[in-house]
Amino acid sequence: MSDSFDLGEPPQPKDTAYRVLARKYRPQNFDQLIGQDAMVQTLANAIRRGRLAHAFLLTGVRGVGKTSTARLVAKALNCIGPDGQGGPTIDPCGVCDPCVSIAEGRNIDVIEMDAASHTGVDDMRAVIDAARLAAFGARFKIYIIDEVHMLSKNAFNALLKTLEEPPEHVKFLLATTEVQKVPVTVLSRCQRFDLRRIPADKLAAHFAYVSELEGAEAEPEALALIARAADGSARDGLSILDQAIAHAGMEGGGVTAPAVRTMLGLSDRAAIRDLFGLLLDSDAPGALAALRTQYDLGVDPQSVLRGLLETVHAVTLAKLGGDADPAQSAEEREAYQGWARSLSFPALHRLWQLLLKGHDEVGRAALPIEAGEMALLRVVHASSLPDPGELARQIASGAPIAAAPAAGGAPASAAAPVDALPATFEDMVGLIQRNGGGSLLSHLNANARPVRYAPPELTLSTQRPLPADLPAQLAARLQDLTGVKWKITTEDAAGEATLSERRKAAEEAERAEILETPIVKAAFEAFPDAVLENWNKEASA
């Protein structure tokens, strides 16, 4: 009896194993490196002029291309061209033996080392000993040390001398996401390149190109969502795109925005805009219902708060007149512009602070959805409170305290009624005087001749010189103090006397009246050279 077993036909290897998009579309030349034009130009100039550093430090967030750039530099320095006669070039041919072997990760003169798993001084001594040996077949022996900040202090100290004066045939390429943890002594021995976060619009364009090559249909909005979720990282974005394409294949369609939102647990941008509008309208029940709807769809409450923060930021940029995000739809831009016209900067800053506090609380809360609801309620109720600065001005002026403007910036329906406004022109100037006044107050006292005063409307005479911008300044100041929009106009008419002229006339009348009192007349008869100074009508009576 045989001890062998018939296991059937052995499994046949597939012709090609699937490669994830992040590996399949790794840059093979500097032209394919996205968003790092400044670094590529510097390297090109250095290679062209023969001014190659002995050590490079590449730093940046995950997935921006640090290791890929290091491999491209290795290819650029070791490329010999299709004819075998070429030298270092910023455009490696990609077909010579060094280029092919480096791209395939099998070149024995290009050593990649993960510092996270080789942190000790013995690991670094092995590198130093091997660095003394000449390259086997390449022009340069290149050491690529990834996450170099993970090396121990002793390992860094062991590397320092070799890093400062390496053999002529050795180049060091160090990569890290946490450059602040790299000792200054190491930084000073390297030529440093800070790889930038890749802009979302460039990522979206790259993902569209990859989708086309993969034969997958993808909506522009879906690609924009993936680009935003990637947070500047091409690798992260390609991984998400890979998952989205697989998800679309299961559903039998292309990559759609709703599918990407569901996959990533993102809230719908239209739903966020609707929720933001409910908050501005102080609709507490509606806002809570909208949040619960998103929660029931599987959206994290913290993601909803983050979406609201992004909305406040977008509205603020729109108010500043900045360029619109190319990833925004026309509907989004129109909504943001509308809110930018109605929301004041103080209201936007207050919304930001309230939502930011809520976002942090939800992240720490044991009951996230409840914490999210309380955060939205705080926003709703805070919008009905007066602005602290406005409240202080109203208290100082003695005017009735008006309700705060709605979050949208429009005056609330409970603003000060017309009959509560300053009754006379003098009262209006007194209100301004009690709240600062400045140069505006001096013009109102000395030169302003009221033609008509019917609050909240005022017409001033132009027969006395007034600053051209005084009506606009006065209207804005009065609106701040009263919560009511004022209409200030000018007219070529005589108008009433200025307040300074009125006070002077009143003083002269009071002086004349005092001079006619018996006791004062008797005093002047007894002392003809006497002068009336600092008179007080009540004291003289």
Q: What amino acid is encoded at 315 in this protein?
A: V
Q: Does domain 200-264 have CATH number 1.10.3720.10?
A: no
Q: pLDDT tens for residues 180-206?
A: 999 999 998 898 988 888 888 888 899
Q: Where are the domains of the chain?
A: 21-194, 200-264, 271-382, 500-540
Q: Is 50 exceeded by the pLDDT of residue 52?
A: yes
288, 388 contact by CB (below 8 A): no
What pLDDT was estimated at residue 127? 87
What pLDDT was estimated at residue 165? 83
**Residue 343: pLDDT band with limits 50, 70, 90:** confident
Mean of pLDDT values over 207-218: 89
Q: Is 70 exceeded by the pLDDT of residue 410?
A: no
**Residue 37: pLDDT band with limits 50, 70, 90:** confident
Question: Is omega for the bond preceding 456 within 30 degrees of 0, making it cis?
Answer: yes
Q: Is 50 exceeded by the pLDDT of residue 11?
A: no
63, 236 contact by CB (below 8 A): yes
332, 402 contact by CB (below 8 A): no
**Residue 358: pLDDT band with limits 50, 70, 90:** very high
Q: pLDDT tens for residues 132-175?
A: 888 888 889 999 999 999 988 888 988 888 888 888 889 999 99
What pLDDT was estimated at residue 387? 58
SS3 label, residue 265: coil
The CATH code that applies to domain 271-382 is: 1.20.272.10
Mean of pLDDT values over 364-388: 83
Give the range among 212-216, 247-251, 508-512, 516-520 with minimum mean pLDDT: 247-251
Q: Do domains 21-194 and 271-382 have the same CATH topology?
A: no
Q: Is 60 exceeded by the pLDDT of residue 276?
A: yes
Q: pLDDT tens for residues 286-342?
A: 999 999 988 887 888 998 999 999 999 989 988 888 666 655 667 778 888 888 888
Give the range among 232-241, 278-287, 416-425, 527-536 with minimum mean pLDDT: 527-536
**Residue listed under structure tokens 């001014």:** 51
Q: Is 60 exceeded by the pLDDT of residue 480?
A: yes
Q: Is 90 exceeded by the pLDDT of residue 371?
A: yes
- Mean pLDDT computed over every residue of the chain: 81
What pLDDT was estimated at residue 383? 63
SS3 label, residue 113: strand
Q: Is 70 exceeded by the pLDDT of residue 538?
A: no
**Residue 9: pLDDT band with limits 50, 70, 90:** very low
Torsion sign across C-alpha atoms 425, 430, 432, 437:
positive
What pLDDT was estimated at residue 252? 59
255, 237 contact by CB (below 8 A): no
Q: pLDDT tens for residues 238-273?
A: 998 988 888 776 655 788 888 887 777 666 777 888
Q: Is 50 exceeded by the pLDDT of residue 407?
A: no
Measured in degrees and rounded to the nearest 5, phi and psi for residue 514 equal: -70, -40
The CATH code that applies to domain 21-194 is: 3.40.50.300
Task: Give one DSSP letter per residue of 463-523, joined into a string.
Answer: SS---TTHHHHHHHHHHHHHSS--EEEEESS--SPPHHHHHHHHHHHHHHHHHTSHHHHHH
Q: Is 70 exceeded by the pLDDT of residue 399?
A: no
Mean of pLDDT values over 487-496: 86
